């Protein structure tokens, strides 16, 4: 990790951590807007993190952004900053000036859509900025706002460059969800390890039992795998653009979805009854893991796309196609 | 735990092209059984041909037969060999761990005597670790080496030693002094470079479940070793033997052992479509790509001189899960009765070999124990 990325990650970790922890997740789940946290995030310029410096943004790489999203996931993503970063990047790439405030992207299942200050709608490579219109409130099983929006007045329009391709919003969402899952899993693993080292049965902490150790070690493998898959995907976006990174983004979402399934199950097994109580922190994360694996394309959907392509290319091309995607270093 | 993705080395694409041309020619007559055996296939002629191209010991100094290439270039070679299902067993151990150990700890005499032979694909190595009462609990080993005038005397028994009957040398971990009372059993162990032609050594192949002679029991009966057959420092054997584990456990041989069945399976599925095949194939490809990223990350960290021992254990564990599941996924998509002959034979070979994937080089349980310790559970 570069030094800059390390500093950023630490800053954002502290900012969101100070925002209220699991208490904040509880208020978000009953429909409150995390106004203080949002103001702090915007004050740091994070909404403009993926907007190039020459367009008035911070000019972070996608690799940096994905690292921040992972931190956000560790805290359960209590505000739509990742989605706003993505929407701002798309607006700016289409030559549209980015307004302040939370941005909604798309019409259906828009994260925190009822709170959006503006709405960004994509039709293929066409980008339109709208005033917020009507919002029909919905929630996912994480009890996060996922609203259906009817756009308000049309404000501006533009076209994305070719490197974004015709489904930039989906690809961006998928990468965001994979990164959030990576972070949430890190937190869930830490909670489970801490519990295993605290809870005593048969006269010793349950973490001393090999059965528990082996399960948590297997989960740690999955947590590491998601993190690597997300890094590969973000790096591919930096190297080849969003459209050119569809393969790596799909891989990341598949591995993230599979890891979310195993990680949530393992953590609940380790925590046993206490972990499924309303008062416990765990379910705020496991419900989000189950929700996020469905958003931005399921494992099944991405696997079908990648598998179809692999079958069409034939067995002899599989390995050369994988290695041809390597990001080349400088000579 | 940390994984940092490295950049591909600058001449990787050229190197891959050379390797693919070479392997296409060399592999014309490889049977499905040979491809299924992957790095458990032993073919001295092939290893000599690989050595002649400069693809063994390639990170070593030129005076020892290497070309001072980067560790990441070496990984390019390993990846292409494994993806093709090449029978690399005769040089695999020498290139992966025996050679690097001799380079790092050996005397100048040992280096000049041994390393060029490995690099040319002439010298095959086996690893003398497990004993009848020392498997996962390796520090329980009993084979011992005593000082005698002008050298050492070796007595004891090693078992499950892969390719001992076909190898030229063994690097053996043995006890040279008793473990201190109440102290660490890791003390008092030393490594020796054992010429397997010496008198007093008997090698008994143990037939495996596939009917192959792949591993052995090796008995040492008053075997006289020279003073300079000691490798590294007397008493430091445990640290020496475990220092190379990150190299041993993180390479592409820990997730690509059954790769040829994925490529063949894809072709078979194109001839005989199966409902839902694309989803299963897509999941496997995603895992393959991710494991490759993890393995390369450890490779990059090793290249920078770091010691990612836990990360390597994790790559091996996750990789073994993948390479064991792969043939079963293919088998579930295409009924073996309908399967093309080539694929059927490959899957049959893999079914018999796959149990070893999560045994060799540290069992799944040992690896997960290492990860659990890193998590703070032990």
Domain ranges of chain B: 12-124, 127-241, 242-375
Q: Do A307 and B287 touch (CB under 8 A)?
A: no
Closest by Cα among A249, B373, B106 to B115: B106
Q: Which of A207, A221, A319 sits opposite B83 (nearest CB)?
A: A319
Write the CB contacts of B162 (distance below 8 Å, at least 6 apart in sequence). B40, B89, B93, B126, B127, B214, B215, B216, B360
What is the pLDDT at residue A116? 98
* pLDDT of residue B41 exceeding 60: yes
Q: What is the nearest CA distance from A32 to chain B, expressed in angstroms?
A: 36
DSSP A100-128: SS-EEESSSSEETGGG-SEEEEEETTEEE
ipTM rounded to 2 decimals: 0.97
* pLDDT tens-digit map of B269-317: 999 999 999 999 999 999 999 999 999 999 999 999 998 999 999 999 9
Q: Which of A193, A208, A319 sits opposite B375 (nearest CB)?
A: A193
DSSP B195-251: ETTSTTEEEEEEE-TTS-EEEEEEEEEEEEEEGGGEES-TTBHHHHHHHTHHHHHHS
**CATH architecture of residue range(s) B127-241:** Beta Barrel (2.40)
Cβ contacts of B372 on chain A, cutoff 8 Å: 213-214, 216-217
The CA distance from B335 to A22, in Å, is 50
Find the closest chain A residue to B318 by CA distance.
A221
Cβ contacts of A254 on chain B, cutoff 8 Å: 282-283, 286-287
Find the closest chain A residue to B24 by CA distance.
A316
Q: Do A231 and B1 touch (CB under 8 A)?
A: no
Interface check B318 vs A, CB under 8 A: yes
Question: Which CATH superfamily hosts domain A3-160?
Answer: Acyl-CoA dehydrogenase/oxidase, N-terminal domain (1.10.540.10)
What is the pLDDT at residue A148? 97
What is the pLDDT at residue B326? 98
Give the number of other Cβ atoms within 10 Å of residue B67's Cβ.
15
Q: Which of B278, B292, B376 sits opposite A304 (nearest CB)?
A: B278
| pTM given for the model | 0.97
What is the pLDDT at residue A279? 97
SS3 A138: coil
What is the pLDDT at residue B245? 85
* pLDDT tens-digit map of B184-229: 999 999 999 999 999 999 999 999 999 999 999 999 999 999 999 9
**CATH architecture of residue range(s) A169-324:** Up-down Bundle (1.20)
Q: Do B289 and A303 touch (CB under 8 A)?
A: no
The CA distance from A44 to A15, in Å, is 10
Q: Which of A232, A252, A305 sits opposite B5 (nearest CB)?
A: A232
A242-to-A72, A165, A175, A236, A309 alpha-carbon distances in Å = 21, 7, 10, 8, 18
- What is the CATH T-level fold of the domain B12-124, as seen in this structure? Butyryl-Coa Dehydrogenase, subunit A; domain 1 (1.10.540)
- Domain borders along chain A are 3-160, 169-324
What is the pLDDT at residue A328? 80
Q: Are B7 and A328 in contact (CB under 8 A)?
A: yes
Q: Which of A213, A224, A329 sits opposite B7 (nearest CB)?
A: A329
Give the residue numbers of B marked as catalytic.
248
What is the pLDDT at residue B297? 97
Cβ contacts of A314 on chain B, cutoff 8 Å: 266-267, 270
The CA distance from A182 to B110, in Å, is 48
What is the pLDDT at residue B365? 97
Say whether domain B242-375 belongs to CATH 3.30.870.10: no
* pLDDT of residue B242 exceeding 70: yes
Q: Do A326 and B297 touch (CB under 8 A)?
A: no
Interface test with A, best of B282, B367, B373 (most A CBs within 10 A): B282
Cβ contacts of B12 on chain A, cutoff 8 Å: 323, 326, 328
User: Mean pLDDT for each consecutive 10-residue tract of chain A (331 residues)?
Assistant: 85 91 96 96 96 95 98 97 98 98 97 98 97 96 98 98 97 98 98 98 97 98 98 97 98 98 98 97 98 98 98 98 86 45
What is the pLDDT at residue A331? 45
Chain A contacts in chain B segment 250-279 (CB below 8 A): 259, 262-267, 269-270, 277-279
pLDDT-based confidence at residue B244 (cuts at 50, 70, 90)? confident
Find the closest chain B residue to A303 by CA distance.
B282
């Amino acid at each position: 990790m570069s030094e800059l990325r390390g500093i950023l990650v630490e800053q954002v970790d502290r900012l969101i951590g100070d925002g209220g922890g699991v208490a904040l997740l509880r208020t978000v789940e009953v429909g409150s807007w995390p106004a203080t946290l949002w103001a702090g995030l915007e004050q740091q310029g994070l909404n403009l993190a993926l907007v190039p410096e020459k367009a008035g943004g911070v000019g972070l790489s996608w690799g940096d952004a994905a690292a921040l999203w992972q931190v956000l996931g560790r805290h359960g993503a209590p505000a739509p900053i990742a989605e706003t970063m993505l929407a701002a990047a798309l607006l700016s790439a289409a030559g549209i000036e980015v307004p302040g405030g939370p941005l909604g992207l798309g019409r259906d299942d828009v994260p925190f859509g009822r709170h959006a200050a503006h709405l960004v709608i994509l039709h293929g490579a066409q980008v339109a900025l709208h005033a917020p219109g009507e919002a029909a409130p919905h929630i996912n099983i994480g009890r996060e706002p996922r609203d259906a929006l009817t756009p308000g007045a049309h404000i501006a329009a533009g076209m994305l460059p070719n490197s974004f391709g015709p489904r930039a919003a989906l690809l961006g969402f998928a990468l965001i969800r994979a990164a959030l899952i990576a972070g949430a899993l890190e937190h869930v693993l830490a909670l489970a390890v801490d519990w295993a080292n605290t809870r005593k049965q048969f006269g010793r902490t349950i973490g001393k039992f090999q059965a528990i150790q082996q399960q948590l070690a297997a989960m740690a493998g999955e947590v590491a795998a998601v993190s690597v898959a997300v890094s590969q995907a973000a790096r591919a976006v930096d190297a080849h653009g969003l459209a050119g990174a569809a393969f790596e983004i799909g891989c990341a979402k598949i591995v993230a979805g599979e890891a979310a399934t195993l990680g949530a199950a393992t953590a609940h097994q380790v925590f046993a009854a206490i972990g499924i109580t309303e008062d416990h922190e765990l379910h705020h994360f496991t419900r989000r893991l189950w929700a996020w694996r469905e958003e931005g394309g399921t494992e099944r959907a991405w696997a079908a796309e990648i598998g179809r392509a692999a079958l069409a290319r034939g067995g002899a091309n599989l390995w050369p196609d994988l290695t041809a995607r390597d990001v080349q270093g400088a000579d | 735990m940390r994984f940092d993705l490295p950049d591909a080395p600058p001449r990787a694409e050229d190197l891959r092209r050379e390797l693919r041309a070479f392997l296409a020619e060399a592999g014309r007559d490889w049977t499905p059984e040979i491809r299924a055996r992957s790095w458990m296939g032993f073919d001295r002629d092939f290893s000599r041909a690989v050595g002649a191209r400069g693809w063994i010991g390639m990170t070593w100094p030129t005076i020892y037969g290497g070309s001072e290439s980067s560790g990441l270039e070496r990984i390019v070679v390993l990846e292409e060999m494994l993806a093709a299902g090449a029978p690399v067993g005769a040089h695999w151990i020498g290139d992966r761990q025996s050679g690097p150990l001799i380079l790092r700890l050996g005397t100048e005499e040992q280096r000049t005597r041994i390393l060029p032979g490995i690099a040319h694909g002439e010298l095959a190595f086996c690893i003398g670790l497990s004993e009848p009462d020392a498997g996962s609990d390796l520090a329980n080993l009993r084979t011992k080496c005593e000082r005698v005038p002008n050298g050492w005397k070796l007595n004891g028994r090693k078992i499950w030693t892969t390719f001992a009957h076909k190898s030229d040398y063994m690097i053996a971990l043995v006890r040279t002094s008793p473990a201190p009372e109440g102290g660490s059993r890791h003390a008092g162990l030393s490594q020796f470079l054992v010429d397997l032609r010496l008198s007093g050594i008997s090698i008994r192949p143990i037939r495996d479940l596939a009917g192959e002679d792949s591993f052995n029991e090796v008995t040492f009966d008053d075997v006289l070793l020279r003073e300079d057959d000691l490798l590294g420092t007397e008493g430091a054997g445990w640290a020496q033997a475990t220092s190379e584990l990150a190299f041993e456990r993180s390479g592409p041989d820990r997730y690509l052992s059954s790769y040829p069945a994925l490529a063949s399976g894809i072709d078979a599925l194109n001839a005989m479509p199966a409902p839902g095949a694309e989803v299963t194939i897509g999941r496997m490809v995603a895992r393959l790509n991710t494991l490759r990223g993890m393995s390369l990350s450890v490779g990059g960290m090793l290249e920078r001189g770091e010691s990612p021992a836990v990360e390597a254990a994790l790559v091996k564990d996750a990789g073994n899960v993948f390479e064991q599941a792969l043939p079963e996924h293919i088998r579930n998509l295409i009924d073996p009765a309908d399967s093309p002959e080539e694929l059927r034979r490959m899957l049959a070979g893999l079914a018999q070999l796959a149990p070893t994937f999560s045994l060799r080089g540290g069992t799944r349980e040992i690896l997960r124990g290492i990860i659990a310790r890193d998590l703070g559970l032990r």
